[in-house]
Amino acid sequence: SRQITPHAIVSDACVSYDSLEKLNQNVKPAVDDLTHTTDYFSYYRLGLFGRTCPFWNDDSGLCGNIACAVSTIEDEADIPLVWRAEELSKLEGPKAEHPGRKAQKERPQRPLQGSLGENVGESCVVDYDDEGDDRDYCVPDDESASAKGDYVSLVANPERFTGYGGKSAQMVWDAIYRHNCFKKSSFPHSAGLGMSSVARGPAEQDFRAVLQSAERQQVLDQQRSQGIEGPVPSSTGLEYEDECLEKRVFFRVVSGMHASINTHICWDYLNKMTGERGRNISCYVERVQSHPERIANLYFNYALVTRAVAKIGPHLQAYTFCTGDRDQDAATKAKVAAVVDASLKQPEIFDESLMFKNGEGPSLKQEFKDNFRNISRIMDCTSCDKCRLWGKLQVAGYGAALKVLFEFDNGSGEIPLLKRTELVALFNLYARLSNSVDAVTQFRDLIETHGVTD
Ligand code: FAD
């Protein structure tokens, strides 16, 4: 299979693979510290149970495996103060507010003031009962005190191999790839992705064309880094036409998320014979390493989310991460600043200002958003609780990143405000991607040293 050379540039980003790995050496300890040791970032409240899959009846797909179970926190006394319903209902958090649809139309945008704006009496970043916002890339999981939600410790429920798979998981991935397509495709379709045996409609053909475009870009990058010019060899079976940046980015986000999840599955795999957990090299080689475009998409996502963290970072200095304890608030803020500082060490990483600008770009923005919202709905069809938890959290994290990148123009003076759940999802997504990039480098070293042995 084609291998990735370290100096190659990650296509659609402006950074090489080895620069990202170097950056990650600073990011990983900081983001692990933030997400493992602070109450604010290690608990999450979401609608995990009782939501039906809006697309099909998946009663048969329930994962009865113990590893699929999520231990939720039933007793409010065990929940850190900051996440308790009574506290959520007390705090209003105007700083973290997004104007509702009506207010957005009536109110001019707030100028950047280096603070959270005028008339701000309460400075904690919390959520409130909110119908959602035109700028959301996800269907919000309501965190308001009145809404039904589940408290989860993310540290106690790590993302890893659960044994979930088969038809149910396949249907979810299929739906994600198949139903979330851009309608206006200028692309012919060609050889399949091996995604599924179901009949492929025009929408899927479009998405498959996007993948081929991303794969082709990857091959071109490899060739260029090796000093080879000219077209992709026909033996790759890839199309020659270029897909537009926006469709490519959309596909890469989904595929990179899939690659990250599968990397974690192989990183913390359960050997059913011995009952022991550990690395599974052949799982990794089969699902990730032998598909360099998947690694490219994973690194692309790392670059994209790093840029989102770096972009919102300076504004977070004005946020207060209220935990009910001033010392903890200050410690949390310092840990957020450490992650942001690390993310800023690679300034040229992804240029969001190129998106939705040229050609059919501007007309694609609403479709891009609608498609991403659809993916957040499909997550409720994942019938393994733990997979659904991390799937929902990561999709929410990407939604927050996309909102920061594409809804707040650089230099417009607008502050990208995020709700608490969005911030927690964004930083935990960053931690997941950071862990995946680290796992890719460690798997590479293991394979170089031992070969594919298990
Ligand atoms: P799958 O990973 O199911 O992939 C299906 C098809 O998609 C493949 O045949 C391939 O053609 C294509 N494909 C695979 N990777 C990519 C990629 N990166 N880009 C593009 N196309 C790709 N299992 C766990 O053990 N732990 C978890 O935490 C977990 N979380 C999950 C979260 C979600 C939202 C979903 C839908 C599933 C989750 N799973 C989890 C299940 C896991 O992702 C796989 O579906 C399962 O392990 C079966 O794997 P598979 O080899 O059949 O291929």
**pLDDT tens across 304-363, in order?**
999 999 999 988 888 878 777 788 889 999 999 999 999 999 888 898 888 888 878 888
Positions in the chain whose pLDDT score sits under 50:
1-2, 88-123, 128-130, 143-146, 185-211, 226-240
Q: Is 387 a catalytic residue?
A: yes
CA distance 33 to 37: 6
Distance 45 CA to ligand 1 centre (A): 25
How much is the pLDDT for 370?
Answer: 87
- What DSSP string describes 150-165? EEEETTTS--------
Distance 258 CA to ligand 1 centre (A): 6
CA distance 180 to 187: 16
On whether the pTM is more than 0.90, the answer is no
Q: Is 63 a catalytic residue?
A: no
Q: Looking at this protein, which amino acid is placed at residue 386?
A: K
How much is the pLDDT for 21?
Answer: 96
How much is the pLDDT for 119?
Answer: 32
How much is the pLDDT for 200?
Answer: 34
How much is the pLDDT for 298?
Answer: 97
How much is the pLDDT for 221?
Answer: 53
Catalytic residue among 124, 181, 266, 387: 387
Which of 46, 177, 261, 389, when mutated, tests ligand 1's pocket best, judged by the most ligand atoms within 8 Å of its CB?
261
pLDDT in tens, 103-128: 333 333 332 222 333 332 234 555 54
Reference 208, options 221, 194, 222, 198; nearest CA is 194
How much is the pLDDT for 17?
Answer: 93
Distance 382 CA to ligand 1 centre (A): 11
Distance 219 CA to ligand 1 centre (A): 24
Query: Which residue owns the Cα nearest ligand 1 atom 30?
Result: 387
Q: Are strands 150-153 and 43-46 parallel, antiparallel or unpaired?
A: antiparallel
Q: What is the interface pTM, i.e. ipTM, of the complex?
A: 0.99
Ligand 1 atom closest to 172 (CA): 36
Pocket around ligand 1: residues whose beta carbon is below 6 Å from it? 159, 161-162, 164-165, 169-170, 172-173, 193-195, 255, 258-259, 261-262, 265, 287, 294, 379, 382, 386-387, 390-391
CB 126 within 8 A of CB 322: yes
